Amino acid sequence: MLYEFESRGLLSGVTILIDISKLGLDYVKEDSSGLRIGASTTFTDALRSRQINSRPAFGALADALSAIRPVQVRNVATLGGAICSGLPVLDLPPASVAVRAKIALAGSRGRRTLDVEDFFLGFLETALKRGEFLMEVRVPRPPAHTGSAFQKLETNSVDWAVLSVATSVTLTNDKVSNARIVFGGGVVGAVPRRATEAEEAMVEAAATEDVIGRAAEEASRSTEFADDERASADYRRQVARVLVRESLANSVERARRDKG
Amino acid sequence: MKYQTIRLRVNGEERDVAVKPFERLNDVLRATLLLTGTKRGCDTGGCGACTVIVGGRPVYSCMMPAIQAEGKEIVTIEGIARDGKLDPIQEAMIRHGGIQCGFCTPGVIMSAKALLASNPRPTEADIREALAGNLCRCTGYVKIIEAVMMAAEQSGGRKAR
């Protein structure tokens, strides 16, 4: 990306570049507040971390990280890069919205933390201000019996997804107490978008196949999909129904296994 | 932006090179160090011809700034033969017809090398996954995968499944 900027002349006014990859921000930690993933953690290291793998609640992150192929990319791609590039079409943005991630920024004027939903503003636009950088992605500790998942349809591994979906479900006494359904950006407007009506309709319901099917139906019906060279809006609507259903089913299955 | 001197460890040798901050490892290897075995293909992280091993892991050298490879062991295709003897993967690629035009070959071999270093007895699925980021427009992959399986059997002494 850096080279691409340079070759397009976008770095002509830049005199100093600061490499933050040696600041020790490559870590995955867990404490009482939740998960903390350093900005320069590679996808490979995040995928191998016990903290992410041990909780089905973080399944959406693991799914999204492993959905990036091939291994040569996972070995250099970092969480910070995937979040800060401001490309909401990538897989990590919707997954991070599904798990309610927070974005911890630092800069010359101090530190601040944002909900990831407030971080993505548009295509190549984020809430990052001049002089700020991402320190870590935080995932507040989810309640027990939370499961999350990510799914996408793509024509090949290099292109943007035709559609991507991340979901999370929390069960209380086998009833849904909380649900999130998030579509990846780029095809539902610029930034990831939640299907809030479908989310709300699931709350208090038993997590049955029927309830999941109706939520998927509602999510695909109430969302406006882009009509572009990759797919028609109509096709995306049909794909959405399938992907939301599968992702919710995975989330519920994981929520049942999640011990907190 | 100014040139800065960094020290890279390439194929076991320390090399001081002057680089600009945005310069890619691929350009430094090929144009500065004249290690042209590593190819420059799509330039966008899609074809795998530029694959080298950095810190034990295969990476696209067209996507990595050279400064980020400082302090890590870099291995290119030029660095895997020992005492004039080809690496078992190189031998197997030749013997089993895994090479046609040869442009993808260095990248394929480096991906396979990294795989066998971490997983000496890979399944065919493991090999396919490890080579998924290396495109070959000639062979159709069958011979390449057979070659890597043969190399694994020879160096690991166990039959790959």
CATH for B101:
1.10.150.120
Domain final position from B19, B48, B79:
B79
Same domain as B19, residue B71: yes
Residue-wise pLDDT for B123-144, tens only, equals 999 999 999 999 999 999 999 9
For chain A, give the percent of residues with pLDDT over 90: 82
Residue-wise pLDDT for A29-69, tens only, equals: 999 999 999 999 999 999 999 999 989 999 999 999 999 88
Confirm whether B161 is domain-assigned: no
Residue B145 belongs to some domain of the structure: yes
* Closest chain A residue by Cα to residue B127: A71
How far apart CA B17 and CA B35 sit, in angstroms, is: 13
Residue B112 lies in a domain: yes
Q: Are the C-beta atoms of residues A170 and A162 closer than 8 Å to each other?
A: no
Q: How does residue A87 score in pLDDT terms, banded at 50, 70 and 90? A: confident
In this structure, are B73 and B10 located in the same domain? yes
Give the closest-approach CA distance of B56 to chain A in angstroms. Answer: 10
Contact B109, B144 (CB under 8 A): no
Range of the domain at B75: 4-79
Task: Give domain status of residue B111, yes or no.
Answer: yes
Nearest to B138 by CA among B95, B100, B97, B107: B100
The CATH number of the domain where B22 resides is what? 3.10.20.30
Cα–Cα separations (whole angstroms), residue A212 to A148, A195, A239, A245, B42: 14, 13, 15, 6, 43
In angstroms, rounded to a whole number, what is the distance separating the alpha carbons of residues A156 and A141? Answer: 34
Q: Does residue A180 sit in helix, strand or coil?
A: strand
Residue B72 has pLDDT above 70, yes or no: yes
Dihedral angle sign, alpha carbons of residues B105, B107, B110, B114: negative
Indicate the pTM of the whole model.
Answer: 0.93
Domain tally, chain B: 2
Tell which of A25, A45, A72 to mutate to test the B interface (max B CBs under 10 Å).
Answer: A72
CB proximity B124 to A under 8 Å: no
CA-based nearest residue in chain B for residue A3:
B22
Q: Which residues contact B78 (CB under 8 A, 6 or more apart)?
A: B11, B35, B37
Supply the mean pLDDT for chain A.
94
Given the candidates 3.40.640.10, 3.40.50.970, 3.30.2010.10, 3.30.465.10, the CATH classification of the domain at A26-140 is 3.30.465.10
B22 closest CB neighbour out of A11, A69, A71: A11
Kindly state whether residues B71 and B124 are assigned to the same domain. no
Question: What CATH number is given for A146-257 in this structure?
Answer: 3.30.390.50
Are residues B95 and B41 both part of a single domain? no
Among B34, B61, B79, the domain-final residue is B79
Q: Residue A47: what pLDDT?
A: 96
Q: Which residues pair with A102 in a beta bridge?
A: A115, A138
Residues A96-106 have a mean pLDDT of 98
Greater confidence (A5 vs A247) lies with A247
Residue A28 in tokens = 């995955």
